Amino acid sequence: MLPTRPLLALITTLFVQALVSLTLAMPSVLAPAVAPSLGVGAERVGMFVGVAYLAAMLSGLHSGDWAARIGAVRLSQVALLCAAIGACTGALGIALAVLGAAVLIGTGYGLTNPSAASLLMRHAPVKRRGLFFSIKQGGVPIGVAIAGVLLPWGLATIGWQAAVLAIGGTCLLAAVLLTPLVRRLEPERGAAPAAARAAPANTASGGLLDVLRDPGLRRLSLASFSYAGTQICFLTFLVSYLNLELSQSLAAAAGVLASAQLVATVGRVVWGHSADRWFDPAALLAGLGLAMGVACALLALLDSSSSPVWILLVALVCAATAMAWNGVFFVELARHSGKHDMTRMAGATQVFTFGGGMVMPVVFGQMVRISGSYATAYLLLAALPTVAALAMWRSLGAEAAAAQAQAQAQAPK
């Protein structure tokens, strides 16, 4: 039996997730200041994010095959290399290069969840998987918080292009530093790379079909589309909303974003631990969906006369719900995966999760352009997680009724 190293696996996956998330968050923070120099409006950052999530969706779908062939640690190195090259490409400051950067960074981002799922399913204690997945998913808000703190400073001191290059160089260095961990976390890979390359692969389409055929996985995936779309719109447009519509300075808006991510990090851990100990994960997911719908509506009700404290509080509520559901999702995914390979299911369900991240920022940006208001777009967005959560509650009620009827039918008479 191969040894398990829970803490090392957790630190590794958290580290990779934070760095790649930092890279993906750069345009959202820099858009109000940089977009005009590229000849586009700040709301066009939604196009960048949409392209990035399309690339993430495609790479995630195939990541189960790649993880089987080269191993999860090496796949994490590929993710970091994609992020590094993407950052350097975007630093060219040319609109076409920025789109190329979106493809590269998105490709790397799509590899992080399946590679982490492979490592944590192997190394994390079974009864603590919710906590482990939630802490790992905390890398997303941690990366965004770092972007919110460092990028405004970098913009003011060394310029945005140098700041972006520095982040790309950090990702490259991190990829190199992961090399010794292949033997520690996947000793069979380090000892027999040839065998790893010959590992049987599962087809990407097969994983997607497994999700579509399973009612539980299908329902979970559709909910993730709505929740992810809400999360990405909150994350992508918050700085622009606060800066351009609510008259907050760029530094203040980025500070609100960074503060919100700290709350999101804690929220992910709390919700994940709660799913392990006290709450049914599916019910908790539904409750979080309703809460994020309310939070988005509150965000839409802000105006330029709102106090900075109230603006911060509303953003924190959004972060604690719209950005903190992911760990619970992976707990429920592990439960529904059953006989299926968790790595392949993580990649297949990402088609829906990243589909929300691809479609909704583009739709949101168009709503801003048509209505001329970020607040209106956020108010309309609030309906998305609310409807998904109500549908999940309804299915939970139907499942409970079916289980009760089956138990009564099987009871001795």
Contacts for 379 with CB less than 8 Å, ≥ 6 apart? 296, 297, 300, 301
Q: pTM here?
A: 0.71
The pLDDT of residue 138: 79
- Per-residue pLDDT reduced to its tens digit, 307-344: 999 999 999 999 999 988 877 887 777 776 665 566 67
Average pLDDT over residues 214-233: 86
The pLDDT of residue 58: 84
Per-range mean pLDDT, top range of 64-68, 264-268, 336-340: 264-268
Break the chain into its structural domains and give their ranges.
6-396
What mean pLDDT value characterizes the chain? 82
What sign does the CA torsion over 93, 99, 101, 105 have?
A: positive
Whether the pLDDT of residue 198 is over 50: the answer is: no
The pLDDT of residue 295: 94
**6-396: CATH architecture:** Up-down Bundle (1.20)
CA-to-CA separations, 33 to 59, 204, 249, 250, in angstroms, rounded: 30, 40, 11, 8
Strands (E), 292-388: none
| Angle subtended by helix axes 326-337 and 342-371, to nearest 10 | 140
Burial letters 383-399, b for 16+ CB under 10 A, else e: ebbbebbebbbebbeee
The pLDDT of residue 97: 87
The pLDDT of residue 331: 74
Contacts for 156 with CB less than 8 Å, ≥ 6 apart? none
Average pLDDT over residues 215-241: 87
CA-to-CA separations, 219 to 63, 166, 225, 301, 352, in angstroms, rounded: 22, 41, 10, 31, 10
- Per-residue pLDDT reduced to its tens digit, 95-139: 788 889 999 999 999 898 888 888 888 887 877 776 787 788 778
The pLDDT of residue 380: 94
Whether the pLDDT of residue 147 is over 80: the answer is: yes
- Per-residue pLDDT reduced to its tens digit, 269-296: 888 778 777 878 888 888 999 999 999 9
User: How many percent of the chain have pLDDT more than 70?
Assistant: 87
Whether the pLDDT of residue 210 is over 80: the answer is: no
Residue the block writes with tokens 């999700």: 211
Which DSSP helix (H) or strand (E) runs through 42? none
User: How many percent of the chain have pLDDT more than 90?
Assistant: 28
The pLDDT of residue 410: 60
Whether the pLDDT of residue 152 is over 60: the answer is: yes
- d(C-alpha 395, C-alpha 393), whole Å: 5
- Per-residue pLDDT reduced to its tens digit, 50-62: 888 889 888 877 7
For 359, the token pair is 């479609």
The pLDDT of residue 16: 94
